Structure 1
Amino acid sequence: MKFIDLFAGAGGLSEGFIRQGFEPVAHVEMDYYASQTLLTRAAYYHLLNEHQLDKYNSYLKNEISKDELHSLLPESIKETVVNMEISDETIDHIFGIIDKNLSRFESEKVDVLIGGPPCQAYSLVGRARDPYGKENDIRNYLYKQYVKFLRKYNPDIFVFENVPGILSASKGALFEDVKDIMREAGYELQAKVLNAFDYGVLQQRKRVILIGWNRDLDYKYPDFQTVLHNFRVEDLLSDLPPLQPGGESNYYVAQPSEYLSSFGLRQNSDILTQHITRVHNENDRRIYNHAIDLWNKEGKRLRYTDLPADLITHKNLTSFLDRFKVVGSDLPFSHTVVSHIAKDGHYYIHPDIKQLRSLSVREAARLQSFPDNFYFEGPRTAIFTQIGNAVPPLMAESIAERVKDMLEKK
């Protein structure tokens, strides 16, 4: 079963579909570093299928370079990663690349189209910061490019993912327009708000999942089975070594927890990578100490105005008072990981008061349910952005499983 992933990012949504046996014809992504991440992940799956994972592990151990790793990929796989912006000027060229890829696969059919335009334009926080409510943001209208792919390749099913804010953008008119032009393209559809936590992700993360199907097919919106468990965020952190700000470690300190093993986030053969933290100044670490102490002793969140006067440096004392927030290890879920984690980390403070730091790259990736063998390319800030923007792979796999059931019914 073939699929195309638009606005692919680091490939969280693709990851779920690949695990369910789908084959990517193209990942279209404008960000260079995210595209490099997609190539590295393609190398992982190619070498896994060729029983040569030792070569991938050599890269994780810094024994070979990224270019050497990517050189192991056949050109037919390299060509599936299209590092281009989707626009009126580029879309015909992208179509040409995808058509060539279909020929290489000796296939004329795209079974599924997946993806979601960048969500910042629909974000409630983003709109609050824009005096015009982002009404004129060009990203509001990238769904029209998405529909051009529906018309061109006529997949049986498509999955359109976005933030809940898309439902209220332009007082709801924008989302109605999204559905109208998808129906005009020949599809029946339905949208629901799903929570990643219900599919094994230790995070409260709600997303609009719109699924459409060719109206000639007797389909309906699938029923998703939620996952019941008693795991806590500490089950996600317990095997990782403690770090100080600016620290890094490549060694686990414990066997994988039952959560990590049962949900596939860590295997015994994995190599720990990207457990690296940002540097914090002393003032911020003192604030972290207050926030962690308050949470661990009283289960309360720190309000910025409750800090001692000598620690208050921001002039804004009326909004964003929860800008310093601890990830509660004793909770069954974290608060939502978003791309702002790339800015400063204050909203994602590690719960261990002995460390006084924000989450490492690997810890953030685990909260998004990326497995430890998933390697992100680029500088740390770019990696945090990729993680914050991603669809959690566990949630994506649940979606892909139901889509596969629909196609097999056909």
Structure 2
Amino acid sequence: MGKKLTFLDLFAGAGGLSEGFIKAGFEPVAHVESDTAACYTLRTRMSYHWLASCGKPEFYVKYLKGDLSRTDFYAEVSEKVLGSVINEEIGTATLPKIFHLIDELLDGRQLDLIIGGPPCQAYSLVGRSRDKNKMIGDKRNYLYVYYAEFLKRYRPKYFVFENVMGLLSAKDKDGNPYLAAMIDLFRKNGYETEYEILSSEEYGVLQSRKRVIIVGKRGKDTGFYPVPDKWNPEVNVQEIFCDLPALKAGEGVSGPVQVNPYNGKWQVTADIRNENIPVTLHQARPNNEQDLEIYRIAVELWNSKKARLNYNALPSRLKTHKNRESFKDRFKVVASDLAYSHTVVAHIAKDGHYYIHPDINQNRSITPREAARLQTFPDDYYFESISGVPARTYAFRQIGNAVPVLLARKIADKMKEVW
């Protein structure tokens, strides 16, 4: 294969899906995302890739060390690279502007692939359980209609559309399944679609996370689904954290930290490590006495029975969350002896997982860097805030919402094989 295959990422988030395709050798033309903090993360990531390709990664290192402001760092980067991240909400009013910007970035080239999935809240089972209207009428239910507009305009050979398991059962106010409507609309625009449920722990990711991955192909072919190759690395959670400095609640820094020597294989095979770029965002949030008491209960339950804590089983004085029907396991154990953890979710910023270290009993929330490793983001990936001041909440939200990078890479590798 000669030229790199080009792709457009819609509803890009912090770029987990995109990063997997970049690692597989695809070339991003543009990312479209409405969240401003995530767009800064994408700009910083695209800047890193561009600087690395130009042999100038030292500017990225200076930025992570705090020797350059974000403005000064971006000044070292091509304006086209920075402009390839389009901070817009996709809708009728914004489509002409977004199309114009993408057309300029393509500059006459063919777009080979579109990837991305609309925000999952409208389809998720949890989202429906929390919303009094069961998400019926929520505009996010219909964002796939705009996705089809991009297919109509750019006519890529393939597209990859990812979403949560709830998509399989979500229906509109008349009881019609959204998935069937999507498939019908994509077919009307010239694409056959096939889908599979992929569970991330089957592809080397050390957490349990199921996603519906729809692949569309232009034309009328069927039987084209690029089923990724499975990988069971046979490592536990401790191995992916073992080189990070031990912390207690409230300890750590957002800037570079010195990691310990690593003699394992998973971090290398999963392409997590980069010995030339500092590791950042290893900072645990402080915990109040109530959290610490809940952590102690949960850890004792895990150590004695290998059982998860049900939030509703806590003493009444410790149950302060109003919503007790969904997220009953809001305090999740990330234990060192687990083959994989529970899903790392966006609400970790508020609800918190906690980590059991084999040598010191770390009853604390996990750090953004630990969450990023569970999502298989490489250590050189930096998560931005709006202001440029590092913030755990922004980082956790972006990490939690992302597609695990390694899962995306497995999908991308297989797509290149069938191209």
* TM-score category, normalised to shorter length: over 0.9
Letter matched to residue 294 of structure 1: L
TM-score normalised per structure 2: 0.91
The 5 Å alignment of 1:164-243 reads: 164-170=165-171, 173-215=177-219, 220-243=224-247
Q: Structure 1 residues 78 and 305 mapped into 2: Cα distance closer, same or farther (>3 Å)?
A: closer
The residue that corresponds to 1:244 in the other structure is 248
1:377 and 2:374 are equivalent in the alignment: no
Greater Cα offset, 6-15 or 303-312 = 303-312
Following superposition, the deviation at residue 351 of structure 1 comes to 1.4
The residue that corresponds to 2:284 in the other structure is 277
The residue that corresponds to 2:369 in the other structure is 362
1:63 and 2:67 are equivalent in the alignment: yes
1:256–1:268 Cα contact (<8 Å) kept = no
Following superposition, the deviation at residue 322 of structure 1 comes to 2.9
Greater Cα offset, 90-99 or 65-74 = 65-74
2:332–2:342 Cα contact (<8 Å) kept = no
1:138 and 2:139 are equivalent in the alignment: yes
Following superposition, the deviation at residue 343 of structure 1 comes to 1.9
2:114–2:159 Cα contact (<8 Å) kept = yes
Greater Cα offset, 313-322 or 223-232 = 313-322
Letter matched to residue 189 of structure 1: T
Q: Structure 1 residues 356 and 2 mapped into 2: Cα distance closer, same or farther (>3 Å)?
A: same
Deviations 1:78-117 (A, max 9, x none): 22110111000000110000111111xxx43100000000
Following superposition, the deviation at residue 44 of structure 1 comes to 1.0
1: distance between equivalents of 2:81 and 2:44? 11
1: distance between equivalents of 2:55 and 2:197? 39
The residue that corresponds to 2:37 in the other structure is 33
Deviations 1:336-363 (A, max 9, x none): 1111112231xx1111363321110000
Q: Structure 1 residues 256 and 388 mapped into 2: Cα distance closer, same or farther (>3 Å)?
A: farther
Greater Cα offset, 72-81 or 143-152 = 72-81
2: distance between equivalents of 1:405 and 1:376? 31
Following superposition, the deviation at residue 272 of structure 1 comes to 1.6
Structure 2 stretches of 5 or more lacking a match?
386-390
- Aligned to 2:160, the other structure's residue is in SS state strand
Following superposition, the deviation at residue 216 of structure 1 comes to 5.9
1:350 and 2:355 are equivalent in the alignment: yes
2:36–2:87 Cα contact (<8 Å) kept = yes
Following superposition, the deviation at residue 324 of structure 1 comes to 2.1
1:92 to 86, 93, 96: 96
The residue that corresponds to 1:126 in the other structure is 127
2: distance between equivalents of 1:25 and 1:315? 44
2: distance between equivalents of 1:3 and 1:176? 25
Letter matched to residue 354 of structure 2: I
1:254 and 2:261 are equivalent in the alignment: yes
1:283–1:311 Cα contact (<8 Å) kept = yes
1:18 and 2:36 are equivalent in the alignment: no
Greater Cα offset, 349-358 or 309-318 = 309-318
Deviations 1:303-329 (A, max 9, x none): 345545654555777775433221122
1: distance between equivalents of 2:214 and 2:131? 26
TM-score normalised per structure 1: 0.93
Letter matched to residue 78 of structure 1: L
The residue that corresponds to 1:386 in the other structure is 398
1:57–1:271 Cα contact (<8 Å) kept = yes
Letter matched to residue 360 of structure 1: T
2: distance between equivalents of 1:319 and 1:198? 26
The residue that corresponds to 2:164 in the other structure is 163
- Aligned to 1:257, the other structure's residue is in SS state coil
1: distance between equivalents of 2:289 and 2:237? 27
2:242–2:262 Cα contact (<8 Å) kept = no
Q: Structure 1 residues 303 and 167 mapped into 2: Cα distance closer, same or farther (>3 Å)?
A: closer
- Aligned to 1:122, the other structure's residue is in SS state coil
Greater Cα offset, 315-324 or 286-295 = 315-324
Following superposition, the deviation at residue 331 of structure 1 comes to 1.4
2:129–2:326 Cα contact (<8 Å) kept = no
1: distance between equivalents of 2:323 and 2:133? 22
Following superposition, the deviation at residue 366 of structure 1 comes to 0.5
2: distance between equivalents of 1:307 and 1:65? 46
- Aligned to 1:109, the other structure's residue is in SS state coil
1:328–1:351 Cα contact (<8 Å) kept = yes
Following superposition, the deviation at residue 172 of structure 1 comes to 6.1
- Aligned to 2:347, the other structure's residue is in SS state helix
2: distance between equivalents of 1:385 and 1:233? 21
1:395 and 2:407 are equivalent in the alignment: yes
1: distance between equivalents of 2:384 and 2:281? 10
Letter matched to residue 28 of structure 2: P
2: distance between equivalents of 1:372 and 1:161? 24
Q: Structure 1 residues 160 and 308 mapped into 2: Cα distance closer, same or farther (>3 Å)?
A: closer
Structure 1 stretches of 5 or more lacking a match?
none
- Aligned to 1:108, the other structure's residue is in SS state coil
- Aligned to 2:334, the other structure's residue is in SS state coil
2:192–2:220 Cα contact (<8 Å) kept = no
